[in-house]
Structure 1
């Protein structure tokens, strides 16, 4: 396990624009979040996707935003189920995942309660009056959360790292926070004496009760504003338990399946894969950062996962596809792969999946 001291920083302003944003200032601007040796995915200043693509820049962003092809979403898209009231603990061989919304989920396994990328905010934005607004309420009321033992923050985009929610979770539960390199510098100054484990790709952290976290590569990027592009690392996580292994990815491009194959070789097979299936159109712009449902099904197969849950859809409008297009595309992909639909579920807020024992 590698632990690094966080540094308090000045406030981070500006909007991290999805899918490219502004060029991150001068090429060799100092990294405001992380200082460490160069590696196969860090050039000494910025992180990058090895042998992969970086998201398009400002001109491509403008081309996308002005294409006039965005399909409107309804103002409200309520979940068909009421907000869940989770069990206090799940033990033995059980594994239960409850959808809060977008990439926020409660994972209950091996007696631990783990939150992923918790966002209870109305908007995913640096300001409260603008930016993508949620179209359904959180699938768990905050006051109905069981005691939270650990929080995984996969990367620093606003739809995954919400400072107000992290502070709220910390004050109520005092969990262990686990995040890739550099992200601690963003949220730690807002918390009172937090416990934070910061991980590089390939690192391992023991979180208790025979549960181990592994930080693994995914094909994405990071930014909170104009001048901090790729200054904090993004990552996928393997949750290793006696009940089986969970492969959780907050955001990723498919990248020819390279990272799925690597995860399978190192950790597979998996009892469960939690994979993003939304925010993928237009493909020419989004493919380097967001996989589509067909790619998610291929990733599930490459990772050798028995079951999968689809997230990152139906709560915040981030890209051009219609609100239910991921559902239809996932169904078509499963049919083409001759896979039963119950093996890969697209989760709605409040839904819980008691993962079958394999």
Structure 2
């Protein structure tokens, strides 16, 4: 542990790091234990089915996607295979049965991963947005390192955790505003999002969280693993800096109750507002229907998304709520 008490990261104070903990500038910190207990014992959680199988079969992806093609395949929750410009990118890879520190307890999958791990194409890059268990899964990262040895890109402090599973992995650690040139015209930028981090009760906000912009010859992709809407500040900043996006990967589930979740998890209406604010031509919607983490019913995000798109006058085909195994060939052009 560093002198300042941070077990993951020791670095200079910044506009989003106080020397021990990271924070959202002008934002709202996560609620504390009393609020958590109030939520957990509030008794308003909608029951989910034991299984929620995808209508799409497990897919075997192409080895590579080139030219102006951009393909996204849903694995589950926030795990997406993004194939563009000859590069295969995995976001927040989780193949484990539970999003939990325990093998015997915690949120369990309601559907199988949309790609069997043995059927993955060669994985070049892994993006890990933050350290919550539904986004950073050590078992999966260890397997990916053994079989693919990908270049892992993650915000400050998360490398300390990842090296427990892959001590000799190639990891680039990024702060907000940093960029990594992976070659062949692809640059990955780390950008702010409004969230937090923790693996337990004593490491809150000790590792950074981030969104990513993937700059490619086939267009720009904006990937967010988790975020509160935060008045659209980060969405507008991303567009001002990078211009409109061909694709945005946006979370739109895990949002109830709002009094507890609003600052950290956007709802479907806010995801649609984010789509407009960042100028995304199309959206791959994720973070729903696999792990029950919050109070809403398993299909409530779909109904709320449909209403939000109708209210905004957006063609539903532009915002795809992806199911495991579903493949989205993203049309060319930004927003």
TM > 0.5 fold call: yes
Aligned length: 332
Tell me the residue number matched to 1:102.
Answer: 77
5, 29, 40: which is aligned to 1:65?
40
Please list, as runs of the form range in 1=range in 2, the aligned pairs for 1:1-358 lying within 5 A after superposition.
30-358=5-333
Report the Cα distance in structure 2 between the residues aligned to 1:158 and 1:192, rounded to whole angstroms: 19
- Contact 1:32 1:228 survives alignment (8 Å): yes
CA-CA distance at 1:206 after TM superposition: 0.7
Gap runs ≥5 in structure 2: none
Q: Deviations over 1:138-161 (max 9, x none)?
A: 000000000000000000000000
Report the Cα distance in structure 1 between the residues aligned to 2:113 and 2:58, rounded to whole angstroms: 7
Structure 1's consecutive aligned runs of 4 or more residues displaced over 3 angstroms after TM superposition are none
- Contact 1:112 1:209 survives alignment (8 Å): no
Report the Cα distance in structure 2 between the residues aligned to 1:192 and 1:278, rounded to whole angstroms: 33
Q: Give the superposed CA RMSD.
A: 0.9
Report the Cα distance in structure 1 between the residues aligned to 2:268 and 2:198, rounded to whole angstroms: 25
- Contact 2:107 2:292 survives alignment (8 Å): yes
Report the Cα distance in structure 2 between the residues aligned to 1:71 and 1:281, rounded to whole angstroms: 10
Report the Cα distance in structure 1 between the residues aligned to 2:166 and 2:225, rounded to whole angstroms: 23
TM-score, structure 1 length as denominator? 0.92
CA-CA distance at 1:190 after TM superposition: 2.0
Report the Cα distance in structure 1 between the residues aligned to 2:331 and 2:251, rounded to whole angstroms: 21
CA-CA distance at 1:208 after TM superposition: 2.1
TM-score, structure 2 length as denominator? 0.98
> SS of the counterpart of 1:97?
strand
CA-CA distance at 1:209 after TM superposition: 1.8
> SS of the counterpart of 1:323?
coil
> SS of the counterpart of 1:55?
coil
- Contact 1:107 1:115 survives alignment (8 Å): yes
> SS of the counterpart of 2:223?
strand
CA-CA distance at 1:201 after TM superposition: 0.1
Report the Cα distance in structure 2 between the residues aligned to 1:89 and 1:310, rounded to whole angstroms: 23
Report the Cα distance in structure 1 between the residues aligned to 2:167 and 2:196, rounded to whole angstroms: 28
CA-CA distance at 1:50 after TM superposition: 0.3
> SS of the counterpart of 2:212?
strand
Q: Deviations over 1:101-134 (max 9, x none)?
A: 0000100001000000000000000010000000
